[in-house]
Amino acid sequence: MPDPIRVVLVDDEKLIRLGFRLVLEAEPDLEVVGEASDGAQAIEEVRMLRPDVVLMDVRMPRMDGIEATRQLVAQHPVTRIVVLTTFDLDEYAFAALRAGASGFLLKDAHPHELTAAIRAAHGGDAVLAPRVTRRMLEMFGDRLPDTVPAGSPGVDLPSALTEREHEVFVAMARGLTNAEIGAELFVSESTVKTHVGRVLAKLGARDRVHAVILAHRMGIIPDDASSGV
């Protein structure tokens, strides 16, 4: 059996951390290894514990989740960060995505959504429903950084991506997980991961979230073709 996914919980509300802990500790493949009540403490916990995934609140005293995310992405790029928010139109959450978070999750999410989000982030998937991507682009698209610099090789997507990579890119933009992409394209999940890595490299995308944003910006897939999760 593989090692459990190691998680650090970051929220200034102790009861919220307790609730998340109870949910996660009921899962055999998830392990809560630490907690923090603000961003500064989160940075210290991650430095000591090296978790796989951090559940990060954004609105906290002393240091908020945005700055904590920015520092953790720079210092611990392997650790994935999922932002916790109360509203799916929270500009703080979108700012955290710009800082490098792998996605965000509503605090009132069902337990199975919480555990699925952690597994998805750990597996390299974006924790971001297509409907949220569309709202993010509508509200803050002009403030999101360009994923591909002008004039870079990745801009000419038709020639940059192979036919299979383009199929994977479109599936990513639709919000499909690696497992779902594999089932749709009749390939293994490990093969999908390889294609995703090549797509990100050719796009110059920092992560899967930025690749999805880029797909919508470039019209690779129309908004009404996305399937919500």
Which residue spans of the chain are classified as CATH 1.10.10.10? 140-225
Among residues 17, 12, 95, 7, which one has the least CA distance to residue 46?
7
Fold of 5-127: Rossmann fold (3.40.50)
Lowest mean pLDDT among 32-41, 82-91, 101-110, 142-151: 142-151
Beta strands in the chain (DSSP E): 5-10, 30-36, 53-57, 80-85, 103-106
Q: Categorize the per-residue pLDDT at 19 as very low, low, confident or very high, splitting at 50, 70 and 90.
A: very high
Q: Hey, what are 103's tokens?
A: 């996605």
| 140-225: CATH number | 1.10.10.10
pLDDT tops 80 at residue 42: yes
Among residues of the chain, what percentage have pLDDT more than 90? 41
For residue 140, the model assigns a pLDDT of 53
- Per-residue pLDDT averaged across 76-97, rounded? 81
For residue 90, the model assigns a pLDDT of 64
C-alpha pair distances (Å), 1 with each of 29, 91, 173, 224: 9, 40, 32, 40
150-176 pLDDT, tens digit each:
334 444 554 688 999 989 998 887 777
- Per-residue pLDDT averaged across 180-197, rounded? 91
pLDDT: which is higher, 36 or 172: 36
CB-neighbour burial class of residue 185 (10 A; exposed 0-12, middle 13-18, buried 19+): middle
For residue 228, the model assigns a pLDDT of 40
Q: Categorize the per-residue pLDDT at 47 as very low, low, confident or very high, splitting at 50, 70 and 90.
A: very high
Among residues of the chain, what percentage have pLDDT more than 70? 80
pLDDT: which is higher, 83 or 129: 83
For residue 147, the model assigns a pLDDT of 41
- Per-residue pLDDT averaged across 115-122, rounded? 89
Contact, 122 vs 143, CB < 8 A?
Answer: no
Q: Hey, what are 19's tokens?
A: 């609730």
For residue 155, the model assigns a pLDDT of 45
Query: If you ran DSSP here, which 8-state letter would residue 191 be given?
Result: H
For residue 154, the model assigns a pLDDT of 41
Structure-token match 């089932």, residue found: 183
Which residue spans of the chain are classified as CATH 3.40.50.2300? 5-127
